[in-house]
């Protein structure tokens, strides 16, 4: 590259010579030679400055730090120039699903629908669960590690073929040297960390899996070492509920206080060098409603959750949650029912899910599980029980792409005695970057 620029410089200098004089004295030729020499020296100096700038930029790009996750073998990163290094990540995803009966949603089925058309089959295909994300890695300052994350998908409100963005995660964390961590932003709930590993992106909501994503301010403290570690987590989270009293206000927002979440977990060595994790968490909040026009009344929303991850072998593990609580619509519990307006009381519910995680090789994964959400019959007006059964297999096609096949069965019992059932067959095509 240097030779090419030097030759262009010499050609340019040659063309700039004054060719109009047919005959020149030795003194004039000497002056012109001196002028040409100065021009070449100036061009060489400019070329050296350009090359130094290119070398500096190359060195800076090569030395940019990477996060622990993106530095894993086989996981590419795409740095973006800015004040701090950013890494782009995400996935492209296409889901196709056939249901032999009606569900609440063909893209993310949570329960089977009751009614005269409940046995009507349907087919759905969507790319709305494609995700885009950014990770921020800030150089350590005063022994404090800082990182952040922002992630969206296309499952916001809007027509199926004209999709809107939906915010999934947006937070940053400050990790202090004495094992304190402060998180500010939107991410998963503290008290119910496990998710059903279904291809159906409802991941067991309404049928045994509790918890969602919401804005929060979280404080964590770890005790012990990497082998045996106790973790204490506390969070003040954005409250959310429907407008049950039809006063145009969110009933949780109307209560005037955040939801409080907490979890204590203990991790210790298990079989095959894999850690066992046991956790106990819960939340409490209030919902405010004026049901009879006589004034506002507060209703409690709470949950108690036990979670576990138990490896039996390097290829096999058991994972799940058990929970109980009330007014859990914002946490995907009570089969998405929080309040019985006809009786004026909170929906009480209990449930959970369990799943086996089987990884026989780096190219094959399989998951199978069961979940149930079982509200107290006397507190509901519609759905009184919902169960799911699922099994799926995933096969890697390349280092970054896999295809999955899933069978799921949903069984939903209604207060009027009807039972709705759905058999769901789904395929997923997935490419991550």
Dist. CA 200–CA 401, nearest whole Å: 18
pLDDT at 22: 47
Task: Decide if domain 88-432 falls under CATH 3.30.70.270.
Answer: no
The upper half-sphere exposure of residue 163, i.e. CA atoms within 13 Å in the direction of its Cβ, equals 16
pLDDT in tens, 11-38: 444 444 444 444 556 666 667 777 777 7
Predicted TM-score (pTM) of this structure: 0.79
pLDDT in tens, 211-269: 999 999 999 999 998 889 999 999 999 999 888 888 888 899 999 999 999 999 999 99
Q: Which of 340, 419, 325 is nearest to 380 (CA)?
A: 340
140-148 — which CB contacts under 8 Å span 24+ positions?
143/176, 143/177, 144/174, 144/175, 144/176, 144/177, 145/174, 145/175, 146/172, 146/173, 146/174, 146/175, 147/67, 147/172, 147/173, 147/175, 148/172, 148/173, 148/185
Segments making up each domain of the chain, as ranges:
2-62, 88-432
């Amino acid at each position: 590259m240097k030779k090419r620029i030097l030759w262009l410089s010499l050609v340019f200098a040659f063309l700039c010579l004054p060719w109009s004089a047919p005959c020149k004295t030795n003194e004039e030729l000497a002056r012109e030679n001196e002028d040409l020499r100065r021009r070449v020296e100036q061009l060489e100096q400019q070329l050296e400055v350009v090359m130094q700038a290119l070398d500096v930029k190359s060195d800076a790009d090569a030395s940019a730090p990477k996060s622990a996750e993106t530095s894993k073998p086989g996981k590419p990163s795409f740095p973006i120039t800015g004040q701090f290094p950013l890494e782009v990540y995400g996935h492209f995803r296409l889901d196709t699903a056939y249901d032999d009966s009606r569900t609440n949603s063909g893209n993310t089925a949570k329960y089977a629908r009751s009614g005269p058309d409940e046995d009507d089959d349907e087919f759905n295909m969507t790319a709305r669960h494609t995700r885009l994300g950014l990770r921020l890695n800030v150089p350590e300052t005063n022994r404090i590690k800082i990182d952040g994350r922002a992630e969206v998908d296309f499952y916001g409100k809007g027509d199926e073929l004209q999709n809107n963005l939906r915010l999934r995660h947006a937070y940053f964390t400050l990790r202090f040297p004495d094992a304190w961590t402060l998180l500010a932003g939107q991410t998963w709930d503290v008290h119910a960390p496990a998710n059903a590993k279904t291809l159906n992106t409802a991941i067991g909501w309404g049928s045994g899996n509790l918890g969602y994503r919401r804005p929060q301010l979280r404080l964590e403290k770890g005790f012990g070492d990497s082998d045996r570690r106790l973790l204490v987590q506390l969070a003040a989270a954005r409250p959310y509920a429907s407008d049950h009293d039809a006063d145009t206000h969110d009933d949780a927002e109307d209560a005037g206080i955040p939801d409080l979440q907490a979890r204590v977990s203990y991790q210790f060595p298990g079989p095959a060098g894999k850690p066992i994790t046991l956790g106990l968490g819960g939340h409490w909040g209030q919902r405010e409603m004026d049901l009879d026009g006589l004034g506002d009344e507060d209703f409690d929303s709470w949950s108690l959750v036990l979670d576990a991850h138990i490896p039996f072998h390097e290829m096999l593990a058991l994972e799940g949650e058990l929970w109980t609580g009330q007014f859990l619509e914002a946490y995907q519990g009570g089969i998405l029912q929080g309040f019985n307006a006809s009786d004026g009381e909170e929906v009480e519910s209990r449930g959970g899910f369990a799943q086996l995680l089987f990884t026989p090789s780096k190219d094959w994964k399989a998951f199978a599980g069961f979940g149930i959400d079982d509200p107290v019959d006397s507190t509901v007006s519609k759905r009184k029980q919902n169960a799911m059964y699922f099994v799926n297999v995933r096969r890697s096609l390349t280092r970054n792409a896999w295809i999955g096949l899933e069978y799921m069965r949903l069984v939903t019992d209604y207060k009027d005695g009807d039972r709705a059932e759905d058999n769901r067959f789904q395929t997923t095509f997935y490419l991550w970057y």
